[in-house]
Amino acid sequence: MYFIFEIEFKSQKNYIKNLIQSYIEQTGIEAEVIQSPKKIYITIDKENSSIESFLLGLEEVLPASLFMGASKHYFSDEKPNIIKVAGHNLPVNIAMCPNCQKEMFDISSNRYYYPFTSCNSCGGQLPFVQKYPFNRKNSSFKFLNPCPSCQEELKSNPFRKEFPLISCIECGINLKMKDGKSERYANDKGSYLKLFEIAAKALNKGKTILVKTLNGYRKFFAPKVGDNLESAILLFCDSSSLNSKLMLIPQEFNALLSIERPILRISTKSDDLKELFGSSAYVKYPDDGITILLAKELLNLGHKYICYQEVKADESADFLIDFDLPIEPQRDIKLFINQDKMLFVNGERVVYPMVTENPKKALTIANGLVASLVDNVTIIDSMERFESADVREVRVLEGEPIETGHRRERRFKLREASMLSVLKEHNLLGEKAIGVHFDSNLYFLYYNGAKVVDVIKPIEFNNSNLWAEISTLREGSDRLVQNFKKRFPSLYEELENIEGDIDIFKIASKIIGLKAEGIDAISKEALNFYGKGGIAIDTRVKDERFDNYAFLASIISYKLADVEPAMLCYSIYESFGDYIGEIIPQIVKSLKTKRVVLSGESFANQALFARVEKTIGIFKPLTNINLPIGKENAVFGALYL
């Protein structure tokens, strides 16, 4: 008879399973842990007297995770017969596990206030990795030699056994802090603590600090009314303040505190945050060691939150915190939650690296990511971490400024690869489907089981002849343009003189009068609308095709009618949802398939997503599961073209 403990875990990532395995070795209990595509199973002989204490200890070791769901236990005469997820030695880039955080705040530990604390199952490993396979000599840690204590851990500590990036204060990375006049170094317990105390006090006095974190350069500052916070991330120092400052549903609270630490757009609740950010803000909980320690010291000074902006290394600031080891940071991951639906919007961290199939031995390149063969295994990660690969075919995203010189190089469209990425995640390749891809443009697609083709394309848009196209749209359109020119002469001139390609959402945000530009600004403003329904925005003129000029003309007419920006922004998404809801049933009827796929990060909007659920929810549309719905899914989908 066996005691079986099941944990829902809807990911191929194995850091939770590895953490459990390390804990099993630490306790010495005779147990087996196996990961399937949807669950993690722990099997223990029923007669083992240590089951209860094992489970109590496991509760303290396991972190919260985006992928983790409900758990249950039962007894069985046989061990579970399940399909195992293949384990791969891939570096992670997540927050620290409870064990490592405990060490970092334990003054008796040789990792006290050491921000690069990590183990085999957690921490910021990937930024230090320079190429594959993942080992110390292929990382920037090759410049560091483990001290005797770390060498002993490599043999005896189950959580760091053979860990490629093991280090501590004695043998690890030193921090330095500059203010333009002097430098301060952190290389022991006291100096590490002092550095973060000084940094927090500087922020408390209104100073800015540029920090090299494992997730790139961040400029930290205490926000005040009047600051330009459009690109700012609101970083909470204290989890107990989240519910009092933000309008959170339980799923959002759990996601923020998960070991994956995504960024979420959350509605503000408190007066102070409303005054700073308006109706919503991008919110995050501290992720890497440097940010966690800085937040801890800020909390000691009474700060519930702080702000940072993702910047370049040459950004000006009052102070700089830096370290010498080179890193290759990732784009942070943004998460969208609508009730029980969770979607990665865009970014790389948490999602990549990943191991995948490669049926045609191809190499794919898209948006700075590469799917490449390494020792007969295909890994998807940042282009900088790969050297040459011997492949039969190369597939490159249209518009990528890359010439591989391969004799079988093929260019592909983002929308076709994105649709295939969804179908592959749902194991539906080879079966017919309809696709809706919505980023800066809206496309309706059809997959016939072998190839993705456009069914309805938007009318081509060129902002260089914006006013001429709108003027000739229909009878009376010329008067619309003249009225706009008369009422808003400077804005008219600005739009007339725009150079280079610019998408319609940037133009729309300018017309509406938003401070920031683009679809994200429109999405944020839409959250300010509290009415029951919006107004109809024109989305097409002929042949059921989305017409960019008709769309902009409609916004101009409402602008002239002094419609509130919040209602206008909300109505944009509502109208897109209605348009999709009208077109999809027509395509379903024509093409004889009810399977619908959604891709493109524009769907990560509450107004649009709710409208789409209402208009085509009957078809139960599919989205990516563990990949972003945005452009970062293309490198995966292109493998199956």
User: What is the pLDDT at residue 500?
Assistant: 66
Q: Which two tokens stand for residue 621?
A: 């549309």
Cα torsion 129, 133, 134, 137: sign: negative
The residue type of 308 is: Y
Q: Which two tokens stand for residue 470?
A: 């709108």
Q: Which two tokens stand for residue 200?
A: 């927090």
For 494, counting Cβ atoms within 10 Å of its Cβ (0-12 exposed, 13-18 middle, 19+ buried), the class is exposed
Structurally, at CATH architecture level, domain 175-329 sits in Alpha-Beta Complex (3.90)
Cα distance between residue 377 and residue 500, in whole Å: 41
Instruction: Residue 299: count other Cβ atoms within 10 Å of its Cβ.
Output: 18
Residue 448 — φ and ψ, nearest 5°?
A: -90, 10
Cα distance between residue 111 and residue 245, in whole Å: 33
User: What is the pLDDT at residue 540?
Assistant: 65
Cα distance between residue 299 and residue 276, in whole Å: 19
User: What is the pLDDT at residue 225?
Assistant: 93
Omega prior to 250 cis, within 30 of 0 = no
User: What is the pLDDT at residue 390?
Assistant: 79
Cα torsion 476, 478, 481, 483: sign: negative
SS3 of residue 244 by DSSP: helix
Alpha-helical regions (H) of 239-350: 242-245, 250-256, 271-277, 289-300
Pairing state of beta strands 334-338 and 305-310?
A: unpaired
For the chain, the domains span 2-76, 175-329, 429-621
Contacts of 305 (CB under 8 A, 6+ apart): 234, 235, 236, 237, 241, 245
Q: Which residues of the chain have pLDDT under 70?
A: 500, 540-543
Query: pLDDT tens for residues 513-524?
Result: 998 888 888 888
Q: How much of the chain is in helix, strand and coil states, percent to nearest 5?
A: 35, 25, 40
User: What is the pLDDT at residue 541?
Assistant: 55
User: What is the pLDDT at residue 538?
Assistant: 81
Residue 31 — φ and ψ, nearest 5°?
A: -150, 160
User: Contact 339/77 with Cβ under 8 angstroms?
Assistant: no
User: What is the pLDDT at residue 84?
Assistant: 85
The residue type of 585 is: P
For 26, counting Cβ atoms within 10 Å of its Cβ (0-12 exposed, 13-18 middle, 19+ buried), the class is middle
User: Contact 636/429 with Cβ under 8 angstroms?
Assistant: no
Is 3.30.420.40 the CATH number for 429-621? yes
The single residue listed with the structure tokens 């999809």 is 584
Identify which of 82, 3, 74 has the alpha carbon closest to the alpha carbon of residue 40.
82
User: What is the pLDDT at residue 159?
Assistant: 97
Identify which of 155, 144, 89 has the alpha carbon closest to the alpha carbon of residue 114.
144
Residue 100 — φ and ψ, nearest 5°?
A: -70, -35
Query: May I ask the CATH class of domain 2-76?
Result: alpha beta
Query: pLDDT tens for residues 296-313?
Result: 999 999 999 999 999 999
